[in-house]
A and B are shown apart, each in its own frame.
Chain A
Amino acid sequence: MTKEAFIEGIEAHADTMYRVAISILRNEEDCRDALQDAVLRAWEKRETLKNESSFRPWLTRIVINNCNTMLRARRRLVALDEVPEPSVPPPDPVLKVALHTLPAGLRLPLVLVYSEGMSYAEAAQAMRIPISAVRGRIYRAKQQLRKELREE
């Protein structure tokens, strides 16, 4: 992969990277660290990308890995009152709250498929779980989200 193609890919998928990271970390400052590191790791591991058409799930996988690593061994912490609130709230704050009540294992496939428009195969590739597991988790996540929204 050329540097130009890599930059273009990062530019095209920066928003997806951010939404995936914030879904896992829920902390903007950590997201910046995790994503910056993910870009560097992606370049370092670019030879493992066999097919450029799989760039997005491949990159998302690296983002998920980085975020999970950060969650598991968060070594630098930012107190929440030091984290700037997003300058603009989400268009649907109720949906945001409902989404975050879902366990991470259900939330992430829902975000990949319904917010980021990934195919089930891409989401499975990004999460390294079988497509059937993605389908199953989405099925359960949607049922659960629907209940949460009804209760709001």
Chain B
Amino acid sequence: MKHVQDHRKPTDEPNLRNAFAPVPPDVRELLVRTARSVKEEEKTKSRKYRLSPVLLAALIVFATMSVGLAVSESVGWSDFFGRFYHGSVPSPMQQALNNVEHTAYELGPITFTVDEALCDGMTGIVSISARMTDGSAALLASTEDYGMPISSSYLDTELARLGLAEGTTWLEAARQKNLPLYAVHAVPQPGQYSDDQYEDYLHDAEGAFVDFSGFTVNPEALGDAVSLELFLSVSAIDPETGEMTRQWQDRPEYTIPVNRSILAEKTYVPEETLATGGFRLENVRMELRITGAYVYTTFTASDAVDHENEAWVEDCYQVEIVGADGEHFSTGVSMSGACDDSAWPVVVLSDTIMIDALPDAIGVKLTYSDETVHLLK
């Protein structure tokens, strides 16, 4: 079997392998021992996870009711981008988010509410909050993290609200506070519209769980609206054992209107020839939509660049688009970018940034180690 060599480590970049502790030798031994234990002639049967009879009995999908509940004060996308990315949501985006139909779905003891949603023709975002329907106190954790310490990886406020020590797990919190614990999940499933998606969550000041999801969409496949399936899930967790004792799931449909408005467009051209690696930076085009700007950076590769060797993308990735003063732009709504080399030797990198208006001039830093800001107007 062939080993692929790591050929992409610019010297001024941290070696990501250093983020990992050495692999425990017993893990390697366990895996090899397991591999040796398989039978040549027979198909192995996967180990079955233990599933309690209580859980099996409870794996019933409960019908949900669409109810018209008013949305109380909750954290929204402005908090999400503010806390995670230190950015502020453009005002047309906030207006569009506020205009959403706040459909609510009752599932077991929890009411899920679509708080905010929009689609700008390129990216869709949805936030869904989860609260106890009867207003009683409970802990609402992510289905992915309910066995973990509270706020172990997210910039969340729940640990402070509960007044618990750093490192306290959700299970410990439920025991200490004598509160019921529910693992919740609420995510849109855009299906054929999208090939890339992200998700994260926050809690509001009262402990409601808010799931934030975003997805890129194929503009050509879109009509005037995006029809989604919302995957909603609630699991009651026994704080003593960590076992699920009951589970509810549903997949209601939800529709987001599409606002493709392009509010402004501008193409920025370098004042001097800018080249990095084997690439010349041709221009940067910005397209201002309600969510901020989509940024398209166009390069042309020289004949010396080997298209077959993927290492070429590193030269493009080092280029950073910044303000004319060298300041970073805040991460934009797509949270992701794209690299289109279908018209090689022309390569277009796309990304999104949070801005309200297109600037007259922007800057570019060509490499990780060079802080020089080159102007484009």
Asked if B21 is an interface residue, CB under 8 A from chain A, the answer is yes
Task: Please provide the chain A residues from 107 to 121 with a CB less than 8 Å away from any CB of chain B in the complex.
Answer: 110-111, 113-121
A120 to B43 alpha-carbon distance, docked (Å): 32
Given A40-B44, A122-B4, is A27 in contact with B147 using a C-beta cutoff of 8 Å?
A: yes
Given A114-B8, A149-B14, is A14 in contact with B20 using a C-beta cutoff of 8 Å?
A: no
A56 to B3 alpha-carbon distance, docked (Å): 9
Task: Please provide the chain A residues from 79 to 110 with a CB less than 8 Å away from any CB of chain B in the complex.
Answer: 79-80, 86-92, 95-96, 98-101, 103, 105-106, 110
Q: Which residue of B lies closest to A76 (CB)?
A: B50
Q: Which residues of B lie under 8 Å from residue A89 when comparing CB positions?
A: 21
Given A10-B31, A43-B35, is A90 in contact with B19 using a C-beta cutoff of 8 Å?
A: yes
Closest-CB distance, B366 to chain A (whole angstroms): 14
Q: Which residues of A lie under 8 Å from residue B169 when comparing CB positions?
A: 79-80
Asked if B136 is an interface residue, CB under 8 A from chain A, the answer is no
Asked if B259 is an interface residue, CB under 8 A from chain A, the answer is no
Asked if B38 is an interface residue, CB under 8 A from chain A, the answer is yes
Q: Which residues of B lie under 8 Å from residue A31 when comparing CB positions?
A: 27
A11 to B51 alpha-carbon distance, docked (Å): 31
A12 to B349 alpha-carbon distance, docked (Å): 35
Q: Which residues of A lie under 8 Å from residue B24 when comparing CB positions?
A: 18, 28, 86-87
Task: Please provide the chain B residues from 156 to 213 with a CB less than 8 Å away from any CB of chain A in the complex.
Answer: 167, 169, 171-172, 185, 195-200
B4 x A115 contact (CB < 8 A): no
Q: Which of B172, B320, B337 has the most CB of A within 10 A?
A: B337
Q: Which residue of A lies closest to B340 (CB)?
A: A132
A28 to B5 alpha-carbon distance, docked (Å): 27
Closest-CB distance, A77 to chain B (whole angstroms): 3
A136 x B336 contact (CB < 8 A): yes
Asked if B148 is an interface residue, CB under 8 A from chain A, the answer is yes
B16 x A99 contact (CB < 8 A): yes
Determine the interface band of chain A, counting residues with CB < 8 A from chain B: 35 or more
Given A75-B51, A135-B338, is A120 in contact with B310 using a C-beta cutoff of 8 Å?
A: yes
Q: Which residue of B lies closest to A10 (CB)?
A: B35
B49 x A117 contact (CB < 8 A): no
A71 x B144 contact (CB < 8 A): yes
Closest-CB distance, A8 to chain B (whole angstroms): 7
Q: Which residue of A lies closest to B185 (CB)?
A: A72
Task: Please provide the chain A residues from 20 to 45 with a CB less than 8 Å away from any CB of chain B in the complex.
Answer: 22, 26-28, 31-32, 35-37, 39-41, 43-44
B198 x A72 contact (CB < 8 A): no
Closest-CB distance, B75 to chain A (whole angstroms): 17
- Cβ-defined partner of A91 (8 Å) among B18, B55, B200: B18
A122 to B350 alpha-carbon distance, docked (Å): 22
Q: Which residue of B lies closest to A31 (CB)?
A: B27
A22 to B47 alpha-carbon distance, docked (Å): 20
What 1/0 mask marks residues of chain A from 122 to 137 whose CB sits below 8 Å from any chain B CB?
A: 1000000110110111
Q: Which residues of A lie under 8 Å from residue B49 when comparing CB positions?
A: 73, 75-76
B340 x A113 contact (CB < 8 A): no
Closest-CB distance, B371 to chain A (whole angstroms): 11
Closest-CB distance, A104 to chain B (whole angstroms): 8
Q: List 29 A-B contacts (CB under 8 A).
A: A7-B35, A9-B1, A14-B27, A14-B31, A14-B32, A18-B23, A19-B23, A35-B27, A36-B47, A39-B31, A39-B34, A40-B44, A75-B49, A77-B241, A79-B171, A90-B19, A99-B19, A103-B335, A115-B20, A116-B6, A119-B4, A132-B338, A133-B338, A135-B339, A137-B337, A139-B317, A139-B349, A140-B335, A144-B331
B contact set with A: CB distance below 8 Å: 1-9, 14-24, 27-28, 30-32, 34-36, 38, 40, 43-47, 49-52, 55, 143-144, 146-149, 152-153, 167, 169, 171-172, 185, 195-200, 241-244, 310, 313, 317, 320, 328, 331, 334-340, 349-351, 368
A contact set with B: CB distance below 8 Å: 2-3, 5-12, 14-15, 17-19, 22, 26-28, 31-32, 35-37, 39-41, 43-44, 52-53, 55-56, 71-80, 86-92, 95-96, 98-101, 103, 105-106, 110-111, 113-122, 129-130, 132-133, 135-140, 142-144, 146-147, 149
With A71-B144, A89-B21, A92-B18 known, 16 other A-B pairs at CB within 8 A are: A14-B27, A17-B31, A22-B20, A26-B153, A28-B24, A32-B30, A37-B47, A74-B143, A76-B242, A80-B169, A86-B24, A120-B310, A129-B195, A132-B340, A136-B339, A137-B337
